[in-house]
Structure 1
Amino acid sequence: MSLDRAMFAFAGAMVLVSVLLTILVSPHFVWLTVFVGLNMLQSAFTGFCPAAMLLRRLGVKPGTAF
């Protein structure tokens, strides 16, 4: 799996987890969804993504975007 696909999978999983936590635990977990969305948006413009840096250090092979 390339870094690009791993990032999409990670972001999608974080959104789904935050929606479940919002429904089951507290409405305040919606802020996790907002954070993930804002991070994806700024990453699209700047190319800086902390999660991509972490995954790269864990040995995920690079893709074309990151």
Structure 2
Amino acid sequence: MIERIIRAVAGSFILLSLTMAHFHSPNWYYFTAFVGLNLFQSSITKFCPLEWGLKKMIKV
């Protein structure tokens, strides 16, 4: 369940930041890069800040 939430949030952040970059400011691409780098580092280190926070909130 947590993995699905993480994927949904990451996908939403990427789509939102791309939309904001298109309509507002190209600086939003930095946020897109941040999300991508976080996904990359979590695949290597097996640590995801969102997963950590969700586990604390849901008490899993």
> TM-score, normalised to structure 2's length?
0.91
Q: Deviations over 1:4-27 (max 9, x none)?
A: 111000100000010011011100
Corresponding residue number in structure 1 for 2:50 = 51
Q: Give the ranges of 4+ consecutive aligned residues of structure 1 lying more than 6 Å apart after TM superposition.
A: none
Q: CA RMSD in A?
A: 1.3
Residue 60 (structure 1) shift: 7.4
Corresponding residue number in structure 1 for 2:32 = 33
> TM-score, normalised to structure 1's length?
0.83
What is the aligned length?
A: 60
User: What is the distance in 2 between the residues matched to 1:5 and 1:41?
Assistant: 17
Alignment gaps of 5+ in structure 2: none
